[in-house]
Structure formats: structure tokens, C-alpha cells
Structure 1
Amino acid sequence: MIEVRLERPWLIAELARPMRVLSWAPHRAGFVTTDRIVWREVRNADLAPGFDAEAWLAEALGAAGLGQAVAMMTSRDVGTWRLEVVTVEGLRAACLATVGLSNAESVGRRLPWHAAEFGTINLAVAVEAELTEAAQLEALSIAVEARTAAVMATGWELATGTATGTGTDCVALACLPGAGRYAGKHTAAGEAVGAAVRGAVAAATADWLRWRRAQG
């Protein structure tokens, strides 16, 4: 469902065919059709206040021949990606994830912003279901819930409470357009999306925690 290509500084999720993708990514947000979802690895120093990151990203994508992709940015090493594929009742879902928690937050209470801390959780999710736009929104909410559950399971404690994600997380969810009206937790699509995301985020988060503890 997702073929992974690592071409530093890019991480590319190749979809099996053009699909309808829904995201709040900095490049091609909303509902768009594409066959690629990509990450651009950046340095924390590249993202200073006032820097037009979206214009810079669009220019870099164009130069790389990736202008039609949905694109996200991360300061996490893109080589740390994790992929999880789950099948439920013959329906597959896949999640490609990178995770960094250096700017983790506990939802509802912000910590002071720190320019040197730009970790993030970026996810590309694909599901074989043919869904209406409303059902795709529901599937995206399942992906976000699964991400949060995986992060909370680590017990990463902040001054404001248990980490639930970061301040710059991004999720892009791909499906084929169709008549499927529901994709919640009672459906095969919802179960598959939830399991794929939870598994990929749990594995990538464990990797980050090991790396963080090794840094002292």
C-alpha cells in the first residue's frame, strides 16, 4: 500500500495509485489527489521565527520534482521511519511514521515555546476503503486518536501533564473516493487505521525515547 523511499533529505511515501488525501500539511493541505506524501528533514535552526517555511518548502519541492505531493517537515532524522500494515476483514491500512517528542505538549496546556526544540510526529496513512469525504474525516480522527493513545502509553511526563503529542504534529490520510459512509471504531476501516497508526507510532516513539535517554 505504501512503498517507502528514503532519498535524504526526503522521505517519500509512494501510494499504489493516485488517492484522495486529507491533511493539514504545510504543502497541499485539505482534500487533494496525489500518489505521494513526503517529508522534508530540516534543522531546528532553519525554522527561526519569521521564516516563511511554507514558501521555502514549496520551492524545494518544485526543485526536487515533488511539487504535486502532500508534504510535511520534521527535524527528526527521516531515516528513523517506521511502517505498520494491518489487515482487518480483508481490508488493509498502512501507516508510515516518524516521531520526535522534543516539543511535546499535553493537550489543553501549552508550554513556553523554545526555538531549539522542534520535534514532531508526522504520519502518512493509507486505507483501502472507498470513503465519502465525511467518512474520510472520521478516519482521520481515528488516526489522530491512535497517535495520541500511543504517545500517552509511554507515560512521557511534562510540567503540564502526560504528553499527548507535539505542537507541530501532522497527519495525512489517503483513501479512494466512494460511497462508504462510516470509518469509526466499529468498522473494519476504523479498526485497521487505528491499529496501523498505533503500531507505527508506538514503535517510532520507543525509538525516540531510547535515543533521548542515550543523549543523557
Structure 2
Amino acid sequence: MIRAELQRPWLIARLDRPMRLLSHAPFGAGYVTGQTVLWREVRNADLPQDFDAEAWIPAEMARAPAPGEVGMLTSRDVSSWRQAAAEAEGAGAEALVTLGLSNAEAVGTRLPWHSADFGTVNILVACSVPLTEAAQLEALTIAVQARTAAIIDLGLELSSGRATGTGTDCIVLACPAGAGRYAGLHTAAGEVVGRAVREAVSLAGRDWLGWREAALAARSARQSA
């Protein structure tokens, strides 16, 4: 359902057919119809506090190696993407995730902003079940719930509490337009969306924790040399 292709600094995610995409992405937000979602990798130094992503990203999207209807930004290495799939009662879902938690937050609090701390959890999840716009919005809430549960499971403790996400997370929910009115936790659509997202975020999260441990060890070794 989702085919990923790395062309650094881009990660290109192609759906197997055009679908209705729902997101709050910096490019292509809201409901749009399309088949391609793009990740643009940037460096932390490229993201000052007053950075205007909404003005910058359309020009970048125009230069992308493939046309995309939705675009997201991340300072995480886009080659670190992880993917998971789920099926239940004839419904299917796939999730593609890049994850960094350098700017993690505990929901309901805010830590002081720092220019070196950008991570972002970017998710594309595609569901095979045709849904109404309202049901697609419900499915998006399931994806958010799954992301949050997976990050809580990672056990990343902050001074403000256990991390539940980052300040710059973005989720794109793709599905065929149709008459399905419900996509909550009691439905097959909700089950597969939630399971695919939770598994992909868990995989990417464990990778990031390993990367952070190695980076901290390397920094300590440099300081003691």
C-alpha cells in the first residue's frame, strides 16, 4: 500500500492508488487527494525559532525529485524510516514513520525551546477502508492515540513528565473516499490503523533510543579525551 524510496534529503512515500489525505502538514494541509507524500530532511541549524516553514517548503516541494501532494519536515535522518502493516476482517493499514524525540514534550506542559533540539515524529498511515470525511477524522485520532501510546511505552522521562510526543509531530491519514461512517477502536479500520502506527512508532522509537545512547557515549568520549 505504501512504497518508500530514499532520495536524500527526500523520503518519497507512494501509495498504490490516489487516496484522500488528511493532515496538518506544513504543505498540503487539510483534505487533499493524492498519491505521494514527501519528507524533507533538514538540519537543526536550518530551523531557527522564527523559521517560516510555510513559506519555505512550497519552493522546496517544487524542486523535489517527485511531485507530492503533502510535504513534511524533519531533522531526523530520513534513512531511519520504519514501516509496519496490520490486517483485520478484510481491513488493512500500513504506516511509515520517521522519529526523533530531541524536542519531546509531555502533553499539557512545555519545556524551554532550544535551537539544537528538534526531532519530530512524522507518520503516513494508509487505510484500505473507504471512509467519510468524518470517519477519516476519527481514524486520525486513533493514529494519534497509537503514536502517543507507543512513545509512552518507550519510557523517555523528561523534567516535565514522561514524553508523549514532540512539539512538531505530523500525521497524514490516507484512505479511499467512501461511505464508511465509523473508524473508532471498536472497528476493523480503527484496529488496523492503530496497530500499524503503534508498531511502526515503536520500531522507530527503539532505533532512536539506541542512536541517542550511542551519540551520548561518543560525546562523553570526546569530552574525556
TM-score when normalising by structure 1 = 0.98
Q: Which residue matches 1:99?
A: 99
Matches of 1:52 and 1:168, distance apart in 2: 13
The residue aligned with 2:178 is 178
Letter of the aligned partner of 1:31 in structure 2? Answer: Y
Q: 1:188 and 2:188 equivalent?
A: yes
One-letter amino acid of the structure 2 residue matched with residue 199 of structure 1:
E
* Structure 1 CA distance for aligned equivalents of residues 176 and 205 of structure 2: 29
Counterpart of 1:88?
88
CA distance, structure 2, for counterparts of residue 210 and residue 196 of structure 1: 22
Residue 118 of structure 2 corresponds to which residue in structure 1? Answer: 118
What are the residue-to-residue correspondences of 1:130-141 with 2, within 5 Å?
A: 130-141=130-141
Q: Which residue of 1 aligns with 2:219?
A: none
Deviates more, 1:195-204 or 1:87-96: 87-96
- Note the 1:198-209 alignment, pairs <5 A: 198-209=198-209
Structure 2 counterparts to residues 135-174 of structure 1, below 5 A? 135-174=135-174
**Deviation >6 Å, runs of 4+:** none
Letter in 2 for 1:133: E
Where structure 1 has 5 or more consecutive residues not aligned to the other structure, the ranges are none
Q: Give the distance between the partners of 2:159 and 2:53, measured in 1 at CA.
A: 29
Residue 90 of structure 1 and its aligned partner are, at CA, apart by 1.8
Computing the radius of gyration from Cα coordinates, the structure with the larger value is 2
Q: Deviations over 1:59-108 (max 9, x none)?
A: 01112254542000000000000000111112110000011000000000
Amino acid paired to 1:130: P
Give the CA deviation at 1:30: 0.3
Letter in 2 for 1:195: R
1:52 aligns with 2:52: yes
- What letter corresponds to residue 148 of structure 2 in structure 1? T
SS at match of 1:172: strand
Aligned mates of 2:193, 2:138 — CA distance in 1? 11
- Name the counterpart of 1:5: 5
CA contact (8 A) 1:58 1:67 kept: no
Q: Which amino acid aligns with 1:129?
A: V
RMSD: 0.9
Separation in structure 1 between the aligned mates of residue 105 and residue 49 of structure 2, nearest angstrom: 19
Q: Which consecutive unaligned segments of at least 5 residues does structure 2 have?
A: 217-225
| Percentage of identical aligned residues | 61
Using the TM superposition, give the Cα deviation of residue 137 of structure 1 relative to its aligned residue in structure 2, in angstroms: 0.3
- Report the Cα distance in structure 1 between the residues aligned to 2:54 and 2:122, rounded to whole angstroms: 16
Given that 1:125 and 1:174 are in contact with CA atoms closer than 8 Å, whether structure 2 keeps it comes out as: yes
Instruction: Report the Cα offset of residue 51 of structure 1.
Output: 2.6
Q: Distance in 2 between matches of 1:64 and 1:3?
A: 17
